[in-house]
Amino acid sequence: MGNTLFLGHADTGMRGGPVIFASLYKAWPGEKDIIFEKSYKTMIKRLLTYILKNKVDKIIMENEYFSDVLIALLIKIFKRKIMIYGPAYHIPPKPSIHKEFIKHFLHYADYKLGIWFMAVSYNAIYTENSYMKHYLESINSKANIIVESPGIDNKYLKPLSYILNLNKDIDFLFLTSFTYNKGMYDFLNLVAGLSNKYNNIKFAMGGFATEQTLSEIRSFMKSNNIENIEIHPDLTEQEKYNLYSRAKVYILPSMEDGIPITFYEAWGYGNIVVSYLLDTYIDVKDLIVPVELRNQKQLLDSCIEIYENYDKFKRIYAEKCYDYSLKHSYEAGINNIVNRLS
């Protein structure tokens, strides 16, 4: 028996898919190695050296981009018996006319092409949602698809009675990577709209942020005379859950996602989740307040309704969403993927 080799990028940041990738490596039984490189040049060099010197039975990829899938396919051409596994969480939306249209179009094309080749060549693909399962099977009906959605970390679970009695002082929370695709600018526009209407409303932002992004946020706040946002970049796990415990509503106007782990975390702390309704949310669409993709007016109107009728929305969503989160343990989800693949 040979090693299982995990192949990923050191510059993707430890969030979302990369966190799942690292967790799979940690939970994987038997002999294993990992190659994390920032550039494709050094990655390919190390990979070729490793495969020539070691017997490898399985390779698990971190990403579904075509540039990564191509590396896996080249390996499989020369070592036909090797097993290739990887994730396929979502399909990016078709790019809209925007100042970065070309960049977003290339991202869209890279993703779609990668997922097509995965469907026809990978030995197994793991995903978080049934939409991607059906999408992959529409390309290749014989594709081996594992649907598993890791959720909340068990050690941060609290009883429902505790959650429902939390003293919440943050009205709207945005907690994810501070990027365009995750809806950061849509959230900032929402903050401006709600701040103009209500005097005592409070917001918080937490997650991965670059210095450039933080500078853009501060500039936006200054130009719109906004002082009611807490900014928490580079959160620890405990700090993250402290924000959930203080928040009434979790906002994620993301334009591409599987089923975010942050949904389960927010549900587990009694947050009402408001999000653009993506195709990949089909399994949880009844647990969120859905908004049409990129419809910022509808996003604002929905948040106004929730803010003015919070107790009603809490009765509708809090308990059933908490119960759903409780059934999706992060550890159990990771172990199920490992067991299916190994």
pLDDT in tens, 191-243: 999 999 999 999 999 998 999 999 999 999 999 999 899 999 988 999 999 99
Among candidates 217, 219, 249, which has minimal Cα distance to 321? 249
* Residue 114: half-sphere exposure toward Cβ, Cα within 13 Å: 26
pLDDT at 10 over 80: no
Q: What percentage of the chain reaches a pLDDT higher than 90?
A: 76
pLDDT band at residue 103 using 50, 70 and 90 as cut-offs = confident
Amino acid of residue 274: V
**pTM of the entire predicted model:** 0.93
Q: What is the DSSP string of 163-205?
A: HHT----EEEEEES--STTTTHHHHHHHHHHHHHH-SS--EEE
Provide the pLDDT confidence category of residue 38 given band limits of 50, 70 and 90: confident
Q: In Å, what is the CA distance from 268 to each residue of 106, 148, 244, 326?
A: 36, 18, 9, 7
Residue closest to 61 by CA, chosen among 41, 34, 80: 34
pLDDT at 66 over 60: yes
Residue 99 pLDDT: 65
Q: Residue written as tokens 């943050």? A: 170
Q: Which of 72-81, 226-235, 319-328 has the highest mean pLDDT?
A: 319-328
pLDDT band at 47 (very low <50, low <70, confident <90, very high): confident
How confident is the model over 26-37, as a mean pLDDT? Answer: 92
pLDDT value, residue 147: 97
